[in-house]
Amino acid sequence: MKKIKKICCIGAGYVGGPTMAVIAKNCPEIDVTVVDINQKRIDLWNHNNLDLLPVYEPGLREIVKETRGGNLFFTTEVDKAIDEAEMIFISVNTPTKTYGKGKGQAADLKFIELCARNIAKVAKTDKIVVEKSTLPVRTAEAVKSILDNTGKGVKFEILSNPEFLAEGTAVDDLLNADRVLIGGDETKSGQEAKDTLSWIYEHWLPKERILQTNVWSSELSKLVANAFLAQRVSSINSISALCEKTDANVAEVSKAIGFDSRIGSKFLNSSVGFGGSCFQKDILNLVYIAKSYGLNEVANYWEQVIIMNDYQKRRFADNIISTLYNTVSDKKICFYGWAFKKDTNDTRESAAIYVADALLEEKAQIVVYDPKVSEETIYADLDYLGTRSPEENRKLLKVINDPMEACNDAHAIAIMTEWDEFKNYDWIAIFELMLKPAFVFDGRRILTKEKMNAIGFKYYKIGQS
Ligand SMILES: NC(=O)c1ccc[n+]([C@@H]2O[C@H](COP(=O)([O-])OP(=O)(O)OC[C@H]3O[C@@H](n4cnc5c(N)ncnc54)[C@H](O)[C@@H]3O)[C@@H](O)[C@H]2O)c1
């Protein structure tokens, strides 16, 4: 097994940044260079003020502070980093296609292909290429074909090493990973490459947690893991609707079923719906792959997870409208939270975007407060939907940096993200500031119904009648 000294990671995003920071911290003898074509992102990774790192994750700034400039580097000099590295991680985005065949379902692999072509163009020495991005099963075949046809006699080993971190707990997930999955060819050189990558992770993880498989099992396992996790959320969310009609309480149902060791207690929290860049995209991709093999029943089964999630977001918005006497026109609705979950500044596919869009269609006046998400991001999320003009979005929705000011004179508050600070607010003072009757719609189930009712709020909690 070959020990390596230089790693390059293409893509300095939510996966590339934290993953490479953790490798750099645990492997001081390896130089880790993270490259990106986005100059602004790289500048922020290199910024003196660590509060401005482009990815917010608890514990990340400390690791970056310790390693940056020592053995962790961020740069836009992509070709140089590829040329010098013995192992190259591809950690670029793989969004759902928005055009052509597979539009709306298949993964857009143009960024991956560009990386492969760039590696093929630049590489002068043998490399191990690691797919860290989430990819459809059999993508490694395409990457290999591009790399093997450079005509320069350079040898490439392609590994699949999907990332299982969750945003908000990325650093902890990386430091204490349940498992690391490494897929590669079952040839002698394939085995050697898998062992080299395993050796990197063995710097801080027990060997038993590092699983080796063939490439296709590894690629598919990542999609399946996300599909199973999202399925649990949609399953409990479907039950939350039933609880609201039957006087059952979804928290009690979750607890009762979660105690069954065959079911387990994790991922059974009902909410306004899952978001994030991965769950929806990866399930749609799974659906597309199943359909492309003619497995329509399999495709329909998994698609239902997305349909249920859309229903939950729509149901939450509809409930706000019907509770506010069937009209939210010109009513001020304060959103606490915009990120798709707490402890991240990532907003991709956040439920807040879709609930806001539905309420803005009814001419509501929305005011958003989120402790980590910028005004620029919030408007970009809404503009991206294209439901109305950017000017109209800015007219109807305002972003305010102070939670008390945000709820002043509001008809209702919608809790969209489970940020811890929301639990500790002075809810009596908030009640005083709001118009009466003062409504709170708790899409994250973080507050106590009895306490909120005692203050005087009309309080709605998902999954409780
Ligand atoms: N975000 C998560 O929680 C998570 C978890 C596990 C897996 N994944 C997967 O990891 C991959 C990356 O996700 P992310 O959230 O880090 O995406 P991201 O959008 O945050 O980052 C991707 C980065 O790649 C850069 N990039 C694109 N093409 C490039 C090129 N040719 N050369 C150099 N840089 C290029 C982009 O500028 C961007 O900064 C995706 O496939 C995703 O599905 C994400």
The whole-number pLDDT of residue 465 equals: 83
The whole-number pLDDT of residue 138 equals: 85
The whole-number pLDDT of residue 152 equals: 80
Q: Is the CB of 93 under 6 A from ligand 1?
A: yes
Query: At residue 457, does pLDDT exceed 80?
Result: yes
The whole-number pLDDT of residue 225 equals: 97
β-pairing, 72-75 with 31-35? Answer: parallel
User: For the segment 408-432, what is each residue's pLDDT rounded down to a tens digit?
Assistant: 999 999 999 999 999 999 999 999 9
Q: Is the CB of 41 under 6 A from ligand 1?
A: yes
User: For the segment 69-82, what is each residue's pLDDT rounded down to a tens digit?
Assistant: 999 999 999 999 99
CA 276, distance to chain mean position in Å, is 4
| 53 within 8 A of 44, measured Cβ to Cβ | yes
The whole-number pLDDT of residue 444 equals: 98
Distance 15 CA to ligand 1 centre (A): 6
Radius of gyration of the chain from Cα atoms?
24
SS (H, E, C) the chain: CCCCCEEEEECCCCCHHHHHHHHHHHCCCCEEEEECCCHHHHHHHCCCCHHHCCCCCCCHHHHHHHHECCCEEEECCHHHHHHHCCEEEECCCCCECCCCCCCCCCECCHHHHHHHHHHHHHCCCCEEEEECCCCCCCHHHHHHHHHHCCCCCCCEEEEECCCCCCCCCHHHHHHCCCCEEEECCCCHHHHHHHHHHHHHHCCCCCHHHEEEECHHHHHHHHHHHHHHHHHHHHHHHHHHHHHHHHCCCHHHHHHHHHCCCCCCCCCCCCCCCCCCCCHHHHHHHHHHHHHHCCCHHHHHHHHHHHHHHHHHHHHHHHHHHHHCCCCCCCCEEEEECCCCCCCCCCCCCCHHHHHHHHHHHCCCEEEEECCCCCHHHHHHHHHHHCCCCHHHHHHHEEECCCHHHHHCCCCEEEECCCCHHHHCCCHHHHHHHCCCCCEEEECCCCCCHHHHHHHCCEEEECCCC
Q: Which atom of ligand 1 is nearest to the CA of 134?
A: 41
Task: Give yes or no on whether 6-208 and 309-461 have one common fold.
Answer: yes
The whole-number pLDDT of residue 137 equals: 86
- Residue recorded with tokens 């690391």: 180
Q: What distance in Å separates the CA atoms of residue 212 and residue 112, rounded to the nearest whole number?
A: 23
Q: Out of 139-143, 206-210, 317-321, pick the least confident.
A: 139-143
Q: Is the CB of 349 under 6 A from ligand 1?
A: no
The whole-number pLDDT of residue 153 equals: 85
Query: Average pLDDT of 26-31?
Result: 98
278 catalytic per annotation: yes
Q: Is the CB of 177 under 6 A from ligand 1?
A: no
Query: Average pLDDT of 148-174?
Result: 92
Q: What distance in Å separates the CA atoms of residue 197 and residue 161, rounded to the nearest whole number?
A: 9
Query: At residue 1, does pLDDT exceed 80?
Result: no
Confidence of residue 2 (pLDDT cuts 50, 70, 90): confident
User: For the segment 42-71, what is each residue's pLDDT rounded down to a tens digit?
Assistant: 999 999 999 999 999 999 999 999 999 999
Confidence of residue 314 (pLDDT cuts 50, 70, 90): very high
**Nearest residue to 271 via CA among 246, 235, 305:** 235
| 155 within 8 A of 86, measured Cβ to Cβ | no
| 313 within 8 A of 393, measured Cβ to Cβ | no
The whole-number pLDDT of residue 172 equals: 98
User: Would you state the CATH architecture of domain 309-461?
Assistant: 3-Layer(aba) Sandwich (3.40)
Pocket test for ligand 1, best of 35, 36, 75 (most atoms within 8 A of CB): 36
User: For the segment 207-264, what is each residue's pLDDT rounded down to a tens digit?
Assistant: 999 999 999 999 999 999 999 999 999 999 999 999 999 999 999 999 999 999 999 9
User: For the segment 93-138, what is each residue's pLDDT rounded down to a tens digit?
Assistant: 999 999 999 999 999 999 999 999 999 999 999 999 999 999 988 8
The whole-number pLDDT of residue 263 equals: 97
* pTM for the whole structure: 0.93
The whole-number pLDDT of residue 256 equals: 98
The whole-number pLDDT of residue 150 equals: 75
The whole-number pLDDT of residue 18 equals: 98
Residue numbering of the annotated binding site: 11-16, 36, 41, 92-96, 133-134, 167, 278-281, 348
Distance 183 CA to ligand 1 centre (A): 20
The whole-number pLDDT of residue 348 equals: 96
Residue numbering of the annotated binding site for NAD(+): 11-16, 36, 41, 92-96, 133-134, 167, 278-281, 348
> In the chain, where are the structural domains located?
6-208, 309-461
User: CATH number of the domain at 6-208, out of 3.40.50.720, 3.40.50.10490, 3.20.20.150, 3.40.50.800?
Assistant: 3.40.50.720
